[in-house]
Amino acid sequence: MSIAIKVEKLSKAYQLGEIGTGTISRDLERWFARVRGKEDPFLKIGQTNDRTNKGTSDIVWSLKDIDFEIKQGEAVGVIGRNGAGKSTLLKILSRVTAPTRGRITGKGRIASLLEVGTGFHPELTGKENIYLNGAILGMRKKEIKRKFAEIVEFAGVERYIDTPVKRYSSGMYVRLAFAVAAHLQSEILIVDEVLAVGDAEFQNKCLGKIKDVSEGEGRTVLFVSHNMAAVSRLCTEAILMDKGCLKQIGKPKEIIEVYTSINGNANEVVLPDNPYLQYLSINQVQDELEISCEYSSDITLNIPCLGFVISDSLGNPIFGTNPTYQPPVQKMLPSKKGTIKVRIKQPKLLNGIYGLSVWFGDGKSDFVRLKDVLTFEIINMVLYDKETYAHTSGPVSTIVDWNYNFHL
Amino acid sequence: MSENSEHLWEIKPKSGLLDLKLKDTWEYRDLLLLLVRRDFVSFYKQTILGPIWFFIQPLLTTIMFTFVFGNLAGISTDGLPKPLFYMAGITAWNYFADCLTKTSTVFKDNAGIFGKVYFPRLIMPLSIVVSNLVRFGVQFLLFLGVMIFYAVKGAEFHFTWAISLFPLVVILMAALGLGAGMIISAMTTKYRDLAFLITFGIQLLMYATTVIFPLSAAPEKYRWLIELNPMTSLIETFRYGFLGRGSFSWSSIGYSALATIVLLVGGIIIFNKVEKNFVDTV
């Protein structure tokens, strides 16, 4: 089989912090260095992309020396923590942004789906938007015309095709947008997490379509997802990214195992300069969650009080509490220094990415507020099969007793 | 699928300066037309009066100019009826100014879509220029209407052969607005403050053309400055063709054409260079 995508020494640097202040002088400095034939002074090697440590330079390598090859007809899943460089890789492949170094070569037209419904205009009808969106994604008008009936059928919006999309429900909107992208005539399809939207039935339909595309039509698929179940079901290969580097490439099952084992003990932050809270971590311990922290302050804290909120990947709070609402069994002792461990029993979170926000104080006021300070992933906390997953809504699984009283 | 299966591509940090990606852009010509259609349809649907707005702006500006510059300041209009003189200038100038201002914010206006999907970025400014052509067409009809009105009233003006240069004048205005707009758009992605300059800069620039006075009435000392503006000869040619007044010379229109080509090619080069990494800086 021939090679569809070949990535060589691919690197991408991003500039952190303010852009737009003092850039003229900085540009001049860069230009001057180039004229003298020296290395760009703002691209220092040796900075890796680690969100938890604050780097000394404000250039961060979002991708560093990535090398891999993808054969034609393969479905490759890209996994990794948030900020591992997955999206950057896809952005470069989709030609939305250019790499800093290295190159990618390949064969065949690329259709990329970094977002559903890019360029949809609310005032235009479904039909007009199919044409516009198709053209934005690189289709010719005659191709769209040929596929039009198929797109409309896949989206299931026949009745509303001449209605402006601003009157569509969000589900219809997403279905229509995905339908256009799924019918692109390309040899390579790039998909980024778009499946996080839509109802379960439609998600399955999308996954099915992606599977058809790769297996049935022999097209190459590159798929970034946090949904391990989808990756293992769809993909023939998987790539694990970590801190901008390619960690491992191989069969999806192995890679997912490596990924989960790495993630089991990560998710911590050290705050040496914080006057109250110096360490914080959150871990999944089988079907429970554990938050740990270390505090040390100059003043005595009457009630060392750590409050927390767990939120979903969109930032919506799911649950949270603090010791004044749910007092500990232990007696609280005024102290300056100590550690706190919080065990969350039965959080029953479904697979996905969640955020942790914490507040820390003396029981009267909060001295530290850290919003979304940690991002963590839940993997197989709730044992489920495909059936139950598809029929559960929301991020939390519950145990339900049904009590029927039949009046026959 | 088979038709493109030998389609080879390469993604690398920098592309050649002179790679204008025109072939790529041509491949996406359908998108250009659909974008123009989108602009048109969404404009219609969102306003009650629709295309009436296209008339109101040039009409009011003409009335203003007639009153302020014609009556109060008493600036010569080369013997033409004042409203007709001003409207010729305004119609042409508006097209150029619209192309320039809209193109200059193309990155800012399309940051969302540029960040999510690739298509030759040049399509966006091109669609702006073509969309504005519709607006220009409507305003041009208004100008023709005013011409007929004055012709019936017996005002003295006549067509000249230079009217045949009209298509060329429109293309040059579009290209000039596009080229200058693209250069500014590329610069504003890095140095934001430039965006503020544009809105009043374009106002000032108008006074350095012959919109409100004939070239013959320009003070001798500053005449060269006004002639330096490539828009001047385009407005003059426009007026000379339709109204038979104004100064026309091959050398000045040749100069405008040359300046346009330089700005346009320079604009495309700079635009393409910025486009590659623009997403990282917004």
Q: Which has more pLDDT, A211 or B86?
A: B86
Chain B hits for A217, CB-CB cut-off 8 Å, are 1
Q: Are residues A227 and A364 in the same domain?
A: no
User: What residue spans define the domains of chain B?
Assistant: 31-281
Name the residue range of residue A254's domain. Answer: 3-10+63-262
Asked whether residue A403 is assigned to any structural domain, the reply reads: no
Which of B227, B121, B225 has the alpha carbon at shortest distance from B178? B121
Provide mean pLDDT across the span B187-209.
82
Q: Are residues A245 and A171 in the same domain?
A: yes
Cross-chain residue pair B114–A138, CB shorter than 8 Å:
no
Longest CA–CA span in chain A (Å) reads 92
A65 CB-near residues (< 8 Å, 6+ apart):
A9, A10, A11, A102, A245
Chain B hits for A101, CB-CB cut-off 8 Å, are 13
**CB distance B238 to B160 below 8 Å:** no
Locate A121 and state its tokens. 């205009």
Q: Which has more pLDDT, A58 or A155?
A: A155
Cross-chain residue pair A136–B38, CB shorter than 8 Å:
no
pLDDT tops 80 at residue A289: yes
pLDDT digits (tens, 9 = 90+) for A258-272: 876 665 445 777 777
Q: What is the pLDDT of residue A313?
A: 66
Asked whether residue A50 is assigned to any structural domain, the reply reads: no
CB-nearest to A19 from B7, B114, B281 is: B281
Asked whether residue A404 is assigned to any structural domain, the reply reads: no
Chain A hits for B1, CB-CB cut-off 8 Å, are 185-187, 217, 219
Q: What is the pLDDT of residue A303?
A: 85
Chain A hits for B192, CB-CB cut-off 8 Å, are 20
* Distance, CA of A379 to CA of B62 (rounded, Å): 69
pLDDT tops 90 at residue B234: yes
Q: What is the pLDDT of residue B147?
A: 92
Q: Are residues A310 and A360 in the same domain?
A: yes
Locate B126 and state its tokens. 């091109």
pLDDT digits (tens, 9 = 90+) for A216-230: 888 898 988 766 667
* Distance, CA of B56 to CA of B23 (rounded, Å): 39
CATH code at A68?
3.40.50.300
**pLDDT band, very low/low/confident/very high, at A312 (cuts 50, 70, 90):** confident
Domain final position from A245, A262, A279: A262
Q: Which has more pLDDT, A175 or A20?
A: A175
Domain count, chain A: 2
Mean pLDDT is highest, among A80-94, A280-294, B27-41, B164-178, for: B164-178
Contact of B118 with chain A, judged by CB distance below 8 Å, is answered with yes
Q: Are residues A281 and A348 in the same domain?
A: yes
**CB distance A81 to A266 below 8 Å:** yes
Q: Are residues A225 and A293 in the same domain?
A: no
Q: Are residues A75 and A150 in the same domain?
A: yes
* Closest residue of chain B to A92, computed from CA coordinates: B11
pLDDT digits (tens, 9 = 90+) for A180-193: 888 887 888 888 86
Strand, helix or coil at A135? helix
Q: Are residues A216 and A200 in the same domain?
A: yes
Residue type for A30, please?
Answer: R
Which of A206, A204, A213, A158 has the alpha carbon at shortest distance from A179? A206
Q: Helix axis angle, B123-153 relative to B82-104, nearest 10°?
A: 170
Q: Are residues A218 and A345 in the same domain?
A: no
Average pLDDT, chain B: 86
Cross-chain residue pair A217–B30, CB shorter than 8 Å:
no
Asked whether residue A95 is assigned to any structural domain, the reply reads: yes
Strand, helix or coil at A181? helix
pLDDT tops 60 at residue A54: no
pLDDT tops 70 at residue A55: no
Q: Are residues A223 and A287 in the same domain?
A: no
Rounded (5°) CA angle A76-A78-A80: 160
Strand, helix or coil at A341? strand
pLDDT tops 90 at residue B128: yes
Which of B241, B247, B238 has the alpha carbon at shortest distance from B160? B241
Which of A88, A94, A89, A75 has the alpha carbon at shortest distance from A238? A75
Q: Which has more pLDDT, A23 or B150?
A: B150
Cross-chain residue pair A140–B276, CB shorter than 8 Å:
no
**pLDDT band, very low/low/confident/very high, at B143 (cuts 50, 70, 90):** very high
CB-nearest to A135 from B12, B31, B191 is: B31
Lowest mean pLDDT among A95-99, A209-213, A365-369, B79-83: A209-213
Strand, helix or coil at B252? helix
Name the B residues in 22-61 with CB < 8 Å from any A CB.
Answer: 28, 30-31, 34-35, 37-38, 41-42, 45-46
Enter the ipTM. Answer: 0.83
Tell me the C-alpha to C-alpha distance, in Å, between residue B192 and each of A19, A316, B173, B184, B279.
10, 34, 26, 10, 15
Asked whether residue A195 is assigned to any structural domain, the reply reads: yes
HSE-up (13 A, CA, CB side) for residue A97: 25
Asked whether residue A155 is assigned to any structural domain, the reply reads: yes
**pLDDT band, very low/low/confident/very high, at A21 (cuts 50, 70, 90):** very low
* Distance, CA of A32 to CA of B93 (rounded, Å): 41
Domain final position from A208, A240, A262: A262
For chain A, percent of residues with pLDDT exceeding 70:
82
Q: What is the pLDDT of residue A357?
A: 87
Cross-chain residue pair A106–B9, CB shorter than 8 Å:
yes
Asked whether residue A55 is assigned to any structural domain, the reply reads: no
* Closest residue of chain B to A217, computed from CA coordinates: B1
Asked whether residue A21 is assigned to any structural domain, the reply reads: no
